[in-house]
Amino acid sequence: MKIGNIDIKNSILLAPMAGVTDLPFRIICKDMGADLVYTEFVSSNGIIRENKKTLDLIEFIDEERPIGVQIFGETPEAVGLSAKMIEERFSPDIIDINYGCPVPKVTKKGAGSAALKDLNLMRDITSAVVEKVKDTPVTVKMRSGWCSDSEVFVKAGQILEEVGVSAITLHPRTTSQRFEGSADWNSIKVLKENVNIPVIGNGDVKTIDDYIKILKQTKCDAVMIGRAALGNPWIFRDINNYNKGNAKKETKISDILTICIKHYNLLKENKEERICVNLTKKHFSWYLKGFKNASYWRKKILFSKDISQIEETINIMEKELV
């Protein structure tokens, strides 16, 4: 798949996830074979105000390329200007606009998936971004509509193509569905039939079988994986191995421990202590599952008060688990 003039090798993408797809987790997934990774969505207003926390969310290193920075906002002026600022300051490979976030705090101001209720606003925001960022491909990630009787993804897709968007990711649930029910992959197929730019299929891809099915059913150009990568970045390795015709590799306890240690070290290098501790607890509670006594180790990490306690537990795990 090509997005603008960027070659995306095998077309397995890591979904943007707020509070999750920071630099350490993106590097872990990239090393496992994710071809394109994204930052979590960042606020256009925060970028314009040069809010440090917002700008920190965008920091990435060259090893992560190709990388997309995802933005959200409610006015063409703000989203356009923030995109230009991101291009000048960070030079990401892709700028992605979020038209999928269902959270009321975001949609009540008209940002995120609220644009699905006003396709003129979606057009204006998207055109503003495309016009402001001359050298970076602009992509969009959206849901299928606001609610089940207003699924607008085909019309939206055609507008987005017309204004110069280079690819569209569709998470085929409506805003009112949030994460309920299942993603309607047929909508991805319909979108693919109605636009001439790459379509990235997303939603409920949890296994290699799901990956095979979504590609076959929708003919999408690439597949984006979110929740299935939490505690399981090996999903990217497994799909790549499948594509190469290699046998599926078993994920051993030693593999889990190696990734835990790598992830912890990346967090320690990149975050202040309190955040490092919290994120270690979050990710380790996903990693430490599915083996004997996993809940014992999970609890030990969860009750750690500081990095020294976390490191002590990691040291014992290294001795006792491998």
Contact between 210 and ligand FMN (CB under 6 A)? no
For the question of residue 101 being annotated catalytic, the response is yes
Q: Binders of ligand FMN among 225-284, rule CB under 6 A?
A: 225-228
Contact between 17 and ligand FMN (CB under 6 A)? yes
Q: Pattern 89-118, binding to ligand FMN, x per CB under 6 A?
A: ---------x-x------------------
Q: State which residue, 25 or 41, has the beta carbon closest to ligand FMN.
A: 41
Contact between 70 and ligand FMN (CB under 6 A)? yes
CA distances from 47 to 41, 56, 73 (A): 11, 10, 10
Contact between 202 and ligand FMN (CB under 6 A)? yes
Q: Which of 41, 146, 211, 234 binds ligand FMN (CB under 6 A)?
A: 41
Q: State which residue, 97 or 257, has the beta carbon closest to ligand FMN.
A: 97
How many residues interact with ligand FMN (rule CB under 6 A)? 21
Q: State which residue, 228 or 261, has the beta carbon closest to ligand FMN.
A: 228
CB of 208 to ligand FMN, least distance (A): 14
Stretch of 81-89, 131-139, 193-201, 221-229 lying at the interface with ligand FMN (CB under 6 A): 221-229
Contact between 40 and ligand FMN (CB under 6 A)? yes
Q: Are 28 and 262 in contact (CB under 8 A)?
A: yes
Contact between 205 and ligand FMN (CB under 6 A)? yes
Q: State which residue, 80 or 112, has the beta carbon closest to ligand FMN.
A: 112
Q: What contacts 176, CB < 8 A, 6 or more positions away?
A: 102, 146, 147, 148
Contact between 16 and ligand FMN (CB under 6 A)? yes
Supply the residues annotated as catalytic.
101
Where on the chain is the footprint of ligand FMN (CB under 6 A)?
A: 15-20, 40-41, 70, 98, 100, 141, 171, 202-205, 225-228
